[in-house]
Amino acid sequence: MLAAAAASNMLRSFPNIHIGLMVGIGGGVPGSGGNRGADIRLGDVIVGELVLQYDLGKTGHDGRFERTHGFGQPPDDILTAVKKLCANHELTPSRIPEILSDMMERHPSMKDCYARPVSVADHLFDAAYDHGKVGSSGTDDDDDDDDDACGCCGSSGLVDRPTRSTDHPMIHYERIASGNQVIKHGATRDRLAGELGAICFDMEAAGLVDASFPCLVIRGISDYAKNGLWQEYAAGTAASYVKELLLSIVPADQACDSRRREKIWRPFFEHLRQMMLRFLQDLFFDEIKERRGRIPAAFHRTFEWIYHTPAEPD
């Protein structure tokens, strides 16, 4: 609901928006999900052809959780632009490295954060490997950053992967799974990915999917099961893809733009209105009219003692 409210306020402040993009980082599912041979590496970009809300559902009489998918599919106009760019990349390489390099050349202070990490290897551990991270206090460290999550792990659990011919990020057009929990467990990650056919997890897109907000979700892979060392670089690759995508879109004439915005956003605002009505209905109770009738009579006496000086004792 917070995501939907933020989106609706944004559209009221900027009424000429007709393309919704949700850009950020996500967790990758290497060699799993819908494409069992997917070669996912840190820094790769996932373009969400479909977003699935994996924790939306109900618990049946037998105690089992039954998933009722919330689906989020980008508008046709954006999908057309995505497919066109994908076709172009079959002939010429992506401009992501060029765009990143240009950004750091124009803003040298960003290089330390957004350049590809050279001191941190892209290690993938077997999903069943127990990292057993223990903090200095001897207790499990659940800090969100997990900056040294694999610093104490041995090499026995590492997955042997072929070396890529280039360090440039690859672009994958696949499903993204979204929910309200952080996934730090490799086996759980792979199980959910297999059920959903997804190769990426995030936590933010689910709110917009639930609100039927029409947008394209793009994620840079920053980890495989919660590690924060590649976050800035992954955010940079995702943002660079978006810039390349936007540069490939030819602006339409103003009249056509107006009709397109109406077509895209009207269903979203109608869905939001229905949500508000349901919330108001949930607040209703049988004695609501009687309760309302008593409020005016009591209101003028409420806190009136504040405005009177108490009488001095004799």
Determine the Cα angle at 213 with ends 145 and 191, to 5°. 50
- Per-residue model confidence (pLDDT) at position 183: 85
Q: Which helix (H) or strand (E) holds 222?
A: strand 216-223
Q: What's the length of the chain?
A: 314
Average pLDDT, the chain: 79
Q: What average pLDDT does this structure show over 253-275?
A: 67
Which SS3 state, helix, strand or coil, does residue 122 take? Answer: coil
Single-letter code of the amino acid located at 266: R
pLDDT tens track for 11-54: 778 877 778 899 999 999 987 444 455 789 999 999 999 998 88
- Report the alpha-carbon distance of residue 127 to residue 188 in Å, rounded: 8
Cβ-count burial of 13 within 10 angstroms (0-12 exposed, 13-18 middle, 19+ buried)? Answer: exposed
- pLDDT greater at residue 117 or residue 265: 117
Rounded-to-integer distance, Cα 220 and Cα 170, Å? 10
Per-residue pLDDT, 74: 84
In whole angstroms, give the CA distance from residue 18 to residue 308.
58
